[in-house]
Amino acid sequence: MAFPTTRLRRLRQSPSLRRLVRETVLTPDDFIMPLFVRPGKGEKRAIKSMPGHYQYSVDELVKACAPIVSAGIPGVILFGIPDKKDARASGAFAKDGIVQKAARALKDKHPGLVLIADLCFCEYTDHGHCGIVEDGNIVNDATLELAAKTAVSQAEAGFDVIAPSGMMDGQVGAIRKALDSGGKSMTPILAYAAKYASAFYGPFREAAESPPSFGDRSSYQMDPANFHEALRETELDVKEGADMVMVKPALPYLDVIKAVRERFGLPTAAYSVSGEFSMLKAAAANGWLDEKRAALESLTAIKRAGADFILTYYALEAARWLP
């Protein structure tokens, strides 16, 4: 039935009517907070391009998680800035590595908080690439061995979920096998299944001190122009044993989020990345948009597209803004 019998404005007449027919509602349960941890004690270094975010030493990180827990946010994902970087990313799988130390401290003080380990090597290699480099190439299969070791080391340190983000072929399978034979068969994998070579990671590279010293990441991260390839990437990760999958970035890739959620039916995460956050912060600082409305609208759109949960630097602010 068409107009004038049908008038869609009838259900938009009051806040209560609108609430009644609202299809997507955000809650703090939807959010994961990304956090950066560095060596030292009593350190809380501001990340300039990401207002309100810091590189924390482990003791400060534990403190920073108290309000996150109180706000009802279920989990955090950690990125480490190691003391030393080298060609083999030793800091990534060291028993006393920076994120391993952080996980032990957090498990002790906030046992209910879900700890997700980002598993990648760009923060740990001296060249800033996400894998082993030989003759200027990022070598896939040699990197898998490191990924397997790192996953077990992270799980042993107390991480609840392992999230490989290096975009090496076969990484999910290699990690699953290592976890299973390392006594960690109950540790789930959140695969960064469709991760694009995105300009929106810019501020993160300042935060994690991880820009590549030569070239870029286009030989392993996906071409932003490709949609069907994202489905192939996801299908492989599902076959290799991913428990959950992720699309990254979020806002420019809503079509991918929607298709991945509908096609595979796995819990699907979206990573609203550093650039998505910094854009809103910068515009808000200039008085160009209403930050609270713009941030909640963005997060709602990501959930509406199909994300079951969202990794977002707005996690704490958004949780506090919600009614």
Active site residues: 195, 248
Would you say 25 or 46 has its CB closer to ligand PBG? 46
- As measured in angstroms, the least distance from the Cβ of 11 to ligand PBG is 37
- Interface residue with ligand PBG among 73, 120, 152, 270 (CB under 6 A) is 120
The separation between the first and the last C-alpha atoms of the chain, rounded to the nearest angstrom, is 36
Both tokens of residue 44? 């809380």
Both tokens of residue 204? 């993160």
State the Cα–Cα distance between residues 143 and 147, nearest whole angstrom: 6
Both tokens of residue 42? 């009593």
Site string for ligand PBG, 250-279 (x = CB under 6 A): -----------------------xx-----
Q: If we measure between CA atoms, which residue out of 155, 152, 127, 288 comes closest to residue 217?
A: 127
The answer to whether residue 118 forms part of the interface with ligand PBG (CB under 6 A) is yes
Q: Binding to ligand PBG (CB under 6 A): which residues in 4-63?
A: none
Would you say 17 or 282 has its CB closer to ligand PBG? 282
- Interface residue with ligand PBG among 57, 143, 153, 165 (CB under 6 A) is 165
The answer to whether residue 122 forms part of the interface with ligand PBG (CB under 6 A) is yes
The answer to whether residue 93 forms part of the interface with ligand PBG (CB under 6 A) is no
- As measured in angstroms, the least distance from the Cβ of 315 to ligand PBG is 12
Binding residues for ligand PBG, total number by CB under 6 A? 9
- As measured in angstroms, the least distance from the Cβ of 23 to ligand PBG is 28
Q: If we measure between CA atoms, which residue out of 74, 42, 75 comes closest to residue 61?
A: 42
Would you say 127 or 217 has its CB closer to ligand PBG? 217
Contact in structure between 130 and 120 (CB atoms under 8 Å): yes
* Those residues with Cβ within 8 angstroms of residue 262's Cβ, 6 or more apart along the chain or in another chain: 306
Q: Binding to ligand PBG (CB under 6 A): which residues in 204-223?
A: 204, 217
State the Cα–Cα distance between residues 114 and 145, nearest whole angstrom: 26
Contact in structure between 254 and 305 (CB atoms under 8 Å): yes
Q: How far is CA 254 from the centre of its chain?
A: 16
- Give contact residues for ligand PBG (rule: CB under 6 A): 118, 120, 122, 165, 201, 204, 217, 273-274
